[in-house]
A and B are shown apart, each in its own frame.
Chain A
Amino acid sequence: MDNLPEISCDLLVIGSGITGMAAALFAANLGIDTVQVGRAGELGFASGFLDLLGVHPVEDGRIWDRPFDGIGALVAEHPRHPYAFLDKKDIQSALSGFVSFLAAHGLPYYTEPGKNLAMITPTGTLKTTYAVPATVQNGVRALAEKASCLVVDFHGLKGFSGRQIVETLDKTWPNLTTRRISFPDTSGELLPEHMALSLESPECRAQLAGEIAPHIHSAEYVALPAILGMYRPMAVFEDLQKQLNRPVFEIPTMPPAIGGLRIKAAFEKALPRLFVRTHYQQKITAVDKQGRNGFRFDVGRDHLRRVITAKGAILASGRFIGGGLTTDRKSVRETLFNLPVFQPVTRSEWHQKSFLDPRGHPINRFGITTDDQWRPLNNNRHPAIPGLFAAGSILAHQDWVRQKCGAGLGITTAFAAVNAFQRFISG
């Protein structure tokens, strides 16, 4: 055991979803000596849209145009919601820090200060969100103007039908038309990731533009599924706009979608340059809270096995999809520290009998409870483990899916947890 390579740091960020990435970024910005461990697959399920708060109360389906007003109403009614521990200034700093990092790494976002945006989805519904990639911006405008627009889709791309979008939006946005084309030099099944990578090549873009151009006619805008590049989406996007001589925008696809993968790629490239030591596709196999340096973690398997010692840790391991929480037939458990999980006594209280029940499923509000310093609490309502902080979707008393607050919750609580760690370490 003692022969394992040992890494020592001040802060270990556990998780590589949006919360883990944000925590690593904010810690690096403060000059904290940081290591990050995570499976790195979670962002593949993200759309790339950044929600802050869209809906409250969920049972009424009330949609907020001004997210900060919505947050105010939410925390007044739900004082244990994680947003209740944050002030508006922190939320704004966190969001702008995150978005300007992405912009600096080739992923600019579009927001309208203080306002939510509406954008279309592949099912033809409208989604309320706070920030969209710049490649989507024209779609927000086109929808607002109900401008004439050609929706392009592709032979071989499943789950994305221009006809579905045009038919479903018939009443809301009558000026839509659609055309199915072949993606250059391919046949059979297409995956968004492969299409995006292909479009990084100028030849492929020129061919695609050549395929689309004859179908534009009088359409003012051209919409495509989100496939416009992986590492350099703005270059792909701007080149295509130029060649088509129309404003272009992307519509998200079913997961795994390119919007989340771009964010993942940007962080994976940039964090090491900010001196974050990242260990992706690694799992923590054991944790010892009484290590010399605060915590001692066993990480990885076989030849990648190592020990990480840290003065503190931010638990951003997510919920069930991310693996931060797990269940058996009887109960919900936190997987790493066996922290108490806020939950009812029996499984019959986990879910509603109707999938789309407007109240949402109670299980989505289970999770880790913390104090206002983001320290997980034990059963006596005291901080459970010195140096441990929690952020993101693992937190209790929120329903990010129904409240449309996933990215915002992750980014802002990561920001606050990093600040709390900073206070702890400089103690």
Chain B
Amino acid sequence: MSILNTPGSCQPPIHTQVLIIGAGVTGAGLVRDLTLRGIGCILVEQKDLTAGASGANHGLLHSGARYIKSDPASAVECRKENHILKKLAPHCIDTCGGLFVAVAGDDEKYIADFPQLCAQSGISARAVDLADAREMEPALSDRLIAAYAVDDAAIDPFRLTLDNIAQAVDKGARFFRFTRVTGLTVKQSEITAVHLVDTRTGREYTVRAEIVVNAAGAWADQVAAQAGISIPMIYSKGSLLVTQSRITRRVVNRLRLATDADILVPGGTVSILGTTSVRTETPDNIYPEIEEIDHIIEEGAMMIPVLETTRYIRAYCGVRPLVGDANSGDDRKVSRGYALIDHTRDHVDNFITITGGKLTTYRFMAEKAANLVCQRLGIDPACQTCTEPLPASTDGQWTEPGLAPHQWMKQNDPTDLLLCECEMVSRHTVDQIIRNMGRLNITPTLEAIGLRSRVGKGPCQGAFCSQRLTAHLYDRGVFKKNEGIVNLHQFLSERWRGQHPLLWDVPLIQAQLQEAMHCGLFGLELNDPKGQPDKPGAGGGPSGRVNA
């Protein structure tokens, strides 16, 4: 076996039983599952958690009804996991229920087959009288021709990921963010060393693990390639839109064979509309494109007419990591099931890849991957995550809409100023978040705080709170020198990825205010801390946050 891309290393290697690459929801679920089985783990992530598809989806806990025709096996997995997660992680879930609705012109054969197909997969689908459906969800079109109630729910993928990692870390697992794999040394059919770099400090080090698990999602083939292994992958970009207010109480699905823009999912105080399926060459540098956004709005409005005129505050996109045949015409026909690959088949015996799948089935995927890890380690501890409740951590709580305002009102402290006025996130809340991050050895950047709270997610999309928060972080001694400028650049650029396709009417005015302040007065565009112009398309990874 060849030795690939080995960097020089002066640090002594770190030893662990299992190294997991990728802190999406799958990696997070796996680190928790293995830790609860008593197995020592290190989790590494090249960016921050949920940087890929885990942070750029609908936040939908599927009933399974969406996949009854295209992928019945996935439908059954969804149904089972839906019940397990509602029982074991209720704090991450809004059990709002869901509807499947068809409008005039939709495929009548599919509508007629729907109850039977649901029954075949054991999925509960109750026919709803059309007048009742419109009473349940007044935003529905008056051109409704069929409606069924299902057990869909909304799930917060950020909180879910944070809580999985938090419990694992509490029980001894180690988590390194902004840590990229630079090389895998393969000797005698084993990965003997994983070479890593801290992308913020440039520090290089090595981990020796008995088993290496590649949970890098859409980047899984890039990781595998470092061990000389090729995984055939299709990158299917999906774009989504966040409305300013919640349009429906329940999840609403279009009752037809899965296609574009047919699901609206509530996310606390907002609703999320999507998606699309667009083949891309790489999982990096992707944007929600204006044509996609307009297509989503026009399609969504056929089911819920107010989507044509409502205000949108953010767009985002992610890449579905689909393992399969790149020559297939329609990416929606490639299985949305997961791929668990034992690389013994590629003559690397201690290497496993787990990718693909869905947010709904993340725990199941983690369980299956953990079973394989245990088999390779020659041990047989039972899975705990199918029976043990997921504890709510303090790291995850601030992503919940309404919590920060509730705390602020309850404390009624006039000196506790609101730094983010749109989402009512106060100085005191930000201080708690910073303390938590300090405990976990996480540098509190504006982006990192935004990921762990609702800062910057309201209608102003960070225009005003970015400077208020920056000033506060200087006051707290968190920012030094020109770090404020660096952070404003990064934070506003990241927010812009999701703003730019939605800039018309009021959001455009908001963007103009943002530019007048940050460029007109502060001259941020003339003060690039990198010392080079901010090139279009710079920065990588999927844009956006589902809980925008």
Is the CB–CB distance between B414 and A188 below 8 Å? yes
CA A158 to CA B472, docked complex, whole Å: 8
Segment from A68-76, A79-87, A118-126, A277-285 that makes contact with B: A118-126
Q: A164 at the A/B interface (Cβ < 8 Å)?
A: yes
CA A189 to CA B415, docked complex, whole Å: 7
Is the CB–CB distance between B524 and A123 below 8 Å? yes
Which residues of chain B from 493 to 548 have any CB-CB distance to chain A below 8 Å in the complex?
493, 495-497, 499-500, 503-505, 508-509, 511-517, 519-528, 533-538
Chain B neighbourhood of A321, CB < 8 A? 509, 512-513, 516
**B515 nearest in chain A by CB position:** A401
CA A78 to CA B525, docked complex, whole Å: 21
CA A389 to CA B401, docked complex, whole Å: 49
Is the CB–CB distance between A320 and B509 below 8 Å? yes
Q: Which of A168, A180, A319 has the most CB of B within 10 A?
A: A168
Q: Tell me the minimal C-beta distance from A223 to chain B in angstroms.
A: 15
Is the CB–CB distance between B496 and A354 below 8 Å? yes
**A161 nearest in chain B by CB position:** B471
Is the CB–CB distance between A353 and B519 below 8 Å? no
Segment from B232-240, B268-276, B477-485 that makes contact with A: B477-485
Q: A47 at the A/B interface (Cβ < 8 Å)?
A: yes
Chain B neighbourhood of A163, CB < 8 A? 474-475, 477
Is the CB–CB distance between B482 and A327 below 8 Å? no
> Residue B484 contacts which of A45, A124, A354 (CB distance < 8 angstroms)?
A124
Q: A342 at the A/B interface (Cβ < 8 Å)?
A: no
Is the CB–CB distance between A361 and B515 below 8 Å? yes
Interface of chain A, main secondary structure: loop
Q: Tell me whether A164 and B524 are in contact in the complex, defined as CB-CB below 8 angstroms, given that A158-B471, A320-B508 are known contacts.
A: no
Is the CB–CB distance between A354 and B537 below 8 Å? yes
Q: B440 at the A/B interface (Cβ < 8 Å)?
A: no
Which residues of chain B from 259 to 318 have any CB-CB distance to chain A below 8 Å in the complex?
287, 289-291, 294, 297
Is the CB–CB distance between A350 and B503 below 8 Å? yes
> Residue A327 contacts which of B489, B504, B514 (CB distance < 8 angstroms)?
B504
CA A169 to CA B284, docked complex, whole Å: 35
Q: B464 at the A/B interface (Cβ < 8 Å)?
A: yes
Q: A55 at the A/B interface (Cβ < 8 Å)?
A: yes
CA A401 to CA B521, docked complex, whole Å: 8
Is the CB–CB distance between A61 and B500 below 8 Å? no
Q: A155 at the A/B interface (Cβ < 8 Å)?
A: yes
What's the A-B contact tally at a CB cutoff of 8 Å?
177
Which residues of chain A from 313 to 346 have any CB-CB distance to chain B below 8 Å in the complex?
319-321, 326-329, 346
Chain A neighbourhood of B482, CB < 8 A? 124, 167-168, 170
Is the CB–CB distance between B290 and A347 below 8 Å? yes
> Residue A252 contacts which of B504, B521, B527 (CB distance < 8 angstroms)?
B521
Chain A neighbourhood of B472, CB < 8 A? 158, 161
CA A122 to CA B522, docked complex, whole Å: 8
Q: B251 at the A/B interface (Cβ < 8 Å)?
A: no
Is the CB–CB distance between B417 and A158 below 8 Å? yes
Is the CB–CB distance between B488 and A357 below 8 Å? no
Q: A406 at the A/B interface (Cβ < 8 Å)?
A: yes
Q: Tell me whether A161 and B474 are in contact in the complex, defined as CB-CB below 8 angstroms, given that A123-B467, A329-B294, A356-B534 are known contacts.
A: yes
CA A127 to CA B493, docked complex, whole Å: 21
CA A159 to CA B498, docked complex, whole Å: 24
Which residues of chain A from 251 to 268 have any CB-CB distance to chain B below 8 Å in the complex?
252, 254-255
Is the CB–CB distance between B417 and A189 below 8 Å? yes
Q: B468 at the A/B interface (Cβ < 8 Å)?
A: yes
CA A212 to CA B480, docked complex, whole Å: 25
CA A353 to CA B536, docked complex, whole Å: 6
Q: A207 at the A/B interface (Cβ < 8 Å)?
A: no
Is the CB–CB distance between B493 and A401 below 8 Å? no
Chain A neighbourhood of B536, CB < 8 A? 352-354, 357
Q: B155 at the A/B interface (Cβ < 8 Å)?
A: no
Q: Which of B287, B482, B538 has the most CB of A within 10 A?
A: B482
Is the CB–CB distance between B485 and A124 below 8 Å? yes
CB-CB contacts of A184-224 with B at 8 A, as 1s and 0s? 00011100000000000000000000000000000000000
Is the CB–CB distance between A347 and B417 below 8 Å? no
CB-CB contacts of B456-492 with A at 8 A, as 1s and 0s? 0000000010011011101101011111110011001
Chain A neighbourhood of B528, CB < 8 A? 356
The number of residues on chain B lying at the interface, defined by a beta carbon within 8 Å of a beta carbon of chain A, is 64
Q: B419 at the A/B interface (Cβ < 8 Å)?
A: yes
Is the CB–CB distance between B513 and A358 below 8 Å? no
Q: Tell me whether A123 and B512 are in contact in the complex, defined as CB-CB below 8 angstroms, given that A354-B537, A402-B525 are known contacts.
A: no
Is the CB–CB distance between A159 and B523 below 8 Å? no
**A361 nearest in chain B by CB position:** B515
Which residues of chain B from 429 to 475 have any CB-CB distance to chain A below 8 Å in the complex?
464, 467-468, 470-472, 474-475
Is the CB–CB distance between B493 and A354 below 8 Å? yes
Contact-residue size bin, chain A (C-beta under 8 Å from the other chain): 35 or more
Q: Which of B419, B513, B527, B538 has the most CB of A within 10 A?
A: B527
> Residue B479 contacts which of A167, A252, A320 (CB distance < 8 angstroms)?
A167
Is the CB–CB distance between B475 and A356 below 8 Å? no
Is the CB–CB distance between B517 and A255 below 8 Å? yes
Chain A neighbourhood of B508, CB < 8 A? 320, 327, 363
CA A254 to CA B535, docked complex, whole Å: 27
Q: Tell me whether A404 and B520 are in contact in the complex, defined as CB-CB below 8 angstroms, given that A123-B467, A354-B538 are known contacts.
A: yes
Q: Tell me the minimal C-beta distance from A426 to chain B in angstroms.
A: 37
Is the CB–CB distance between B516 and A123 below 8 Å? no
Q: Tell me whether A159 and B467 are in contact in the complex, defined as CB-CB below 8 angstroms, given that A187-B415, A357-B536 are known contacts.
A: yes
CA A118 to CA B49, docked complex, whole Å: 42
Q: Tell me the minimal C-beta distance from B164 to chain A in angstroms.
A: 33
Is the CB–CB distance between B526 and A406 below 8 Å? no
Q: Tell me whether A122 and B467 are in contact in the complex, defined as CB-CB below 8 angstroms, given that A167-B479, A328-B505, A329-B294 are known contacts.
A: yes
Chain B neighbourhood of A161, CB < 8 A? 470-472, 474-475
Chain A neighbourhood of B509, CB < 8 A? 320-321
Is the CB–CB distance between A55 and B415 below 8 Å? no
Q: Tell me whether A167 and B534 are in contact in the complex, defined as CB-CB below 8 angstroms, given that A350-B503, A354-B496 are known contacts.
A: no
Q: Tell me whether A351 and B516 are in contact in the complex, defined as CB-CB below 8 angstroms, given that A123-B470, A167-B480 are known contacts.
A: no
Is the CB–CB distance between A168 and B475 below 8 Å? no
CA A50 to CA B41, docked complex, whole Å: 60
Chain A neighbourhood of B537, CB < 8 A? 353-354
Chain A neighbourhood of B414, CB < 8 A? 187-189
Chain A neighbourhood of B468, CB < 8 A? 158-159, 254
> Residue A401 contacts which of B475, B488, B497, B516 (CB distance < 8 angstroms)?
B516
CA A27 to CA B187, docked complex, whole Å: 85
Is the CB–CB distance between B505 and A164 below 8 Å? no
CA A327 to CA B471, docked complex, whole Å: 34
Which residues of chain B from 141 to 184 have any CB-CB distance to chain A below 8 Å in the complex?
none
Q: Which of B289, B520, B522 has the most CB of A within 10 A?
A: B520
Q: A102 at the A/B interface (Cβ < 8 Å)?
A: no
Q: Tell me the minimal C-beta distance from A394 to chain B in angstroms.
A: 13
Q: Tell me whether A63 and B526 are in contact in the complex, defined as CB-CB below 8 angstroms, given that A155-B415, A158-B419 are known contacts.
A: yes
Q: Which of B290, B492, B493, B523 has the most CB of A within 10 A?
A: B523
Chain B neighbourhood of A351, CB < 8 A? 500, 503, 511
Q: A295 at the A/B interface (Cβ < 8 Å)?
A: no
Which residues of chain A from 355 to 411 have any CB-CB distance to chain B below 8 Å in the complex?
355-358, 361, 363-364, 400-402, 404, 406
14 pairs across A/B with beta carbons < 8 Å?
Answer: A123-B485, A123-B488, A156-B417, A254-B467, A320-B509, A321-B512, A346-B290, A347-B294, A351-B511, A352-B500, A353-B536, A354-B538, A355-B499, A358-B533
Beyond A125-B485, A158-B419, A329-B504, 6 additional contacts (C-beta under 8 Å) are A123-B522, A320-B509, A329-B294, A348-B290, A356-B489, A401-B516
> Taking beta carbons and an 8 Å cutoff, which residues of B are in contact with A?
287, 289-291, 294, 297, 414-415, 417-419, 464, 467-468, 470-472, 474-475, 477, 479-485, 488-489, 492-493, 495-497, 499-500, 503-505, 508-509, 511-517, 519-528, 533-538
> Taking beta carbons and an 8 Å cutoff, which residues of A are in contact with B?
45, 47, 49, 55, 59, 61, 63, 121-128, 155-156, 158-161, 163-164, 167-168, 170, 180, 187-189, 252, 254-255, 319-321, 326-329, 346-348, 350-358, 361, 363-364, 400-402, 404, 406
The 6 A-B pairs with the shortest beta carbon distances in the complex, nearest first, are A188-B414, A161-B471, A355-B496, A164-B474, A163-B474, A327-B504
